Amino acid sequence: MSNLILLRHGKSTWNAQNRFTGWVDVDLAPEGKLEACKAGELIKKLNYEIDSYFSSLQKRAIHTLELIINTLEHKSKKIIKAWELNERHYGELTGLNKEDMKKKYGQEKIHIFRRSWKIAPPPLNRKNPYHPLNIEIYKNIPLDKIPDTESLQNTYDRVIPFYKNNIENLIFENKNIIIVAHGNSIRSLCKYLFNLSDTKITELEIPTGNPLLINFKEKLKINSCNYLDQNRKGDLLVKF
């Protein structure tokens, strides 16, 4: 038996401002830090030995995981950071207010940009300071891997190979894993793990700072899953 804990980072400063964030490297809001500490307390109650910690390359995920590790008193544990677990790139919507964009494009169009499987927003100009090419933490990523925009499918196509190559075998070996990432990278993982259809995935919303515990039995089959904070759980769209 092994356990995988998936967590969307705590609320960020741009979440609080209702802005499209994507690959921009913003930090946690005060509320997000509290969410991370509470997530740590909930995980601590499980009394599991955590074998590996993974996060995206973005500091809102890294800092969330660092607060959890501090709460668990596992300070010597190494975080494996991967750009493949980054949030989806929102193209030209990046940095803009979501309500303002609903007025510009219409609510239905913005919903499609945010939730659809294949449709990506228009690309972000590469000279824009919010473009990943102009953000220091991405300087070591191969240029052909840096997107101008992404659909959820594009996000899935980088998240899932990383998961299969770096995490799935650990679960097969009965290890306990924590992954702290983002709304759309977690949605990608859920689509794969729960075999959600391209249509069904559009309905899935991932709450910030609430650990999703997935228990595996033999041969990587999921035995159970539940949010640790039952007072603010999301709808997984699956039943066990």
pLDDT, tens digit (0-9, with 9 covering 90-100), for 138-165: 999 999 999 999 999 999 999 999 999 9
Nearest to 235 by CA among 205, 214, 210: 205
**DSSP letters spanning 70-135:** HHHT-TTPPEEE-GGGSPPP-GGGTTSBHHHHHHHH-HHHHHHHHH-SS--PPPPPTTSTTSGGGS
CA distance 133 to 190: 29
Cβ neighbors of 65 (< 8 A, separation 6 or more) are 7, 36, 53, 55, 79, 178, 180
What residue type is assigned to position 191 of the chain?
Answer: K
Q: Which of 87, 89, 131, 150 is catalytic?
A: 87
Range of weakest confidence among 18-27, 68-77, 89-98, 174-183: 68-77
111-138 burial string, b = 16+ CB within 10 Å, else e? eebbbbbeebbeebeeeeebbbbebebb
pLDDT tens digits, 164-217: 999 999 999 999 999 999 999 999 999 999 999 999 999 999 999 999 999 998
- pLDDT confidence of residue 112: 87
Question: Does 239 have pLDDT greater than 90?
Answer: no
Q: Which of 9, 89, 131, 182 is catalytic?
A: 9
Which fold, 2-232? Answer: Rossmann fold (3.40.50)
- Tell how strand 52-55 and strand 222-227 pair up: unpaired
pTM of the complete model: 0.95
- pLDDT confidence of residue 75: 73
pLDDT tens digits, 6-65: 999 999 999 999 999 999 999 999 999 999 999 999 999 999 999 999 999 999 999 999
Question: Does 131 have pLDDT greater than 90?
Answer: yes
Structure confidence at residue 232 as a pLDDT band (50, 70, 90):
confident
- pLDDT confidence of residue 77: 81
Q: Where are the domains of the chain?
A: 2-232
Average pLDDT over every residue of 107-128: 92
Cα 81 to its chain centre, rounded Å, is: 13
Question: Does 235 have pLDDT greater than 90?
Answer: no
Q: Has 9 been annotated as catalytic?
A: yes
- pLDDT confidence of residue 155: 98
Cβ neighbors of 196 (< 8 A, separation 6 or more) are 190, 204, 237, 238
